[in-house]
Each structure stands twice: as C-alpha cells, then as structure tokens.
Amino acid sequence: DAGVIQSPRHEVTEMGQEVTLRCKPISGHDYLFWYRQTMMRGLELLIYFNNNVPIDDSGMPEDRFSAKMPNASFSTLKIQPSEPRDSAVYFCASSSLTGDGYTFGSGTRLTVV
Amino acid sequence: SQQGEEDPQALSIQEGENATMNCSYKTSINNLQWYRQNSGRGLVHLILIRSNEREKHSGRLRVTLDTSKKSSSLLITASRAADTASYFCALGPGYSTLTFGKGTMLLVSP
C-alpha cells in the first residue's frame, strides 16, 4: 500500500478563496481523521469518520470548514472562504480498529495570504 | 484536558547517548501511543502501550507506562543522527480518537 495520500502538498491561496484538501486513506482502514497542526496550538483533531460516516466534528473551528467522505477511499476537507488564520499544515490519518496506531499522510501546507 | 504533556520540550544529545522523554497526563486512558515527526513530514507511529501493560520494547525503543502516576516514558538507546525529530505522546481514551501533546524536539548531533 502507498500509505495515506494527501493532495496537494502545498497550497497558497488568497483570502476569501475556496480551498479543497484531499485524502486517500489506506485500503481497509475504517477510520479517517483530519488534523491541523500549528506552532501555537499543536495538533488539533478537526473531524473523524468511521465507515464513511462523520462521528465527531466538534473540532471543526467554524462553519467555513466542512468535510466529506463520499466513499471508503476518498475524503475532502473544504474551507470556504479561507482566511489567513487558517494557514497551517493539515494532516489526514487513517486507522483500523484492530491495528496499531494511526497512519498519517504527508500533510498539506496551506498558506492563505 | 485530555492532552498529554511531554517533557522536556527540547533535548539535545550526542550520537550514541540515550534519550529519554516523558509524558504526563490527567485522565483515564485505554492506551498511550508514541509518534515521531521528522521536519516537514507526517507523524509516524512508533509504539502503542495499553493501560494494562507496564513496558514494551521495539528495537532501540523502550516505553514504560505507570498508570498510578499517569505517566509514560520513551527511551531511545544508542541514538543516531537520524533519530533527530519531534516525538509526541498521544492518549487514547478509547481507541477511536487520539489527542496529541505538543511534543519533544530531539536533536542528535554526530
């Protein structure tokens, strides 16, 4: 397996624009997580899915953030409209209930100017 | 807070020395995990220790867990320059979600 695949690796966008981050989890993993990492706040859990169903989105900072998982092999995190304070590294991770730990993607570094 | 707290925040050692990082927490846990993050990369899972376990080994890594003191330690023996990274403990109150600490930055100099 190629691991958890995220795209794009880097995204620079202007304030007010829509941003879509993409994630392909490991095949067979039934949990998918979106985290955000900043120097100030560390790693924050934004939302997680189990079997494609959103379970807990209490970490999503505002209504500007939304996430979907239309099938077991794809998830998106959308920010609309983006703001400079959204600048961070966004990680997707997946896991299975029977496995050991999470597998993280390489992240998307988002810069909103 | 369900977040673990790593100590020290930063650690600088020479190759060949051992590195010890600690994690303290306040809540009940089901398991505790350690992850490594190299600069500019995603986190990599190192080891998971369950609440009924006291010690686990994986290669040069040794993890201990003391649930009575609500603390865990990660020991890296015979460190190498390639071990330079940030190390995070993550608490699993259940299995499905993890909360991460702020991490320990380890620098191993040749």
Q: Which tens digits make up the pLDDT trace of B2-11? A: 688 999 999 9
In this prediction, residue B99 has a pLDDT band, given cuts at 50, 70 and 90, of confident
pLDDT of B93 reads: 67
Rounded CA separation A102/B35 (Å): 9
The string of DSSP codes covering B14-42 is: ETTS-EEEEEE--S--SEEEEEEE-TTS-
User: Which residue type does A88 have?
Assistant: A
* Contact between chains at B48 and A100 (C-beta distance less than 8 A): yes
Q: With contact defined as beta carbons under 8 Å apart, do A42 and B102 qualify?
A: yes
| B78 secondary structure, DSSP code | S
pLDDT, mean of residues B41-62: 95
The string of DSSP codes covering A38-81 is: ETTTEEEEEEEEETTEEEE-TT--STTEEEEEEETTEEEEEESS
pLDDT of A2 reads: 80
Write out pLDDT tens, residues A55-96.
999 999 889 999 999 999 999 999 999 999 999 999 999 998
pLDDT of residue B97 exceeding 90: no
Q: With contact defined as beta carbons under 8 Å apart, do B10 and B104 qualify?
A: yes
In this prediction, residue B96 has a pLDDT band, given cuts at 50, 70 and 90, of low
Rounded CA separation A74/A5 (Å): 10
pLDDT of B94 reads: 61
Phi, psi of A105 (to 5 degrees): -80, 180
pLDDT, mean of residues B22-49: 93
What number of C-beta contacts closer than 8 Å exist between A and B? Answer: 44
* Contact between chains at B45 and A107 (C-beta distance less than 8 A): no
Write out pLDDT tens, residues A9-65.
999 999 999 999 999 999 999 999 999 999 999 999 999 999 999 999 999 988 999
Q: With contact defined as beta carbons under 8 Å apart, do B83 and B15 qualify?
A: no
Phi, psi of A85 (to 5 degrees): -70, -5
* Contact between chains at A56 and B97 (C-beta distance less than 8 A): yes
* Contact between chains at B42 and A104 (C-beta distance less than 8 A): yes
Rounded CA separation B26/A52 (Å): 32
In this prediction, residue A100 has a pLDDT band, given cuts at 50, 70 and 90, of confident
pLDDT of A54 reads: 96
A93 part of contact set with chain B, CB < 8 Å = yes
Q: With contact defined as beta carbons under 8 Å apart, do A33 and A102 qualify?
A: yes
Top residue of B3, B36, B43, B88 to mutate, by most chain A CBs within 10 Å, is B43
B79: helix, strand or coil: coil
B103 CB neighbour count, 10 Å cutoff: 24
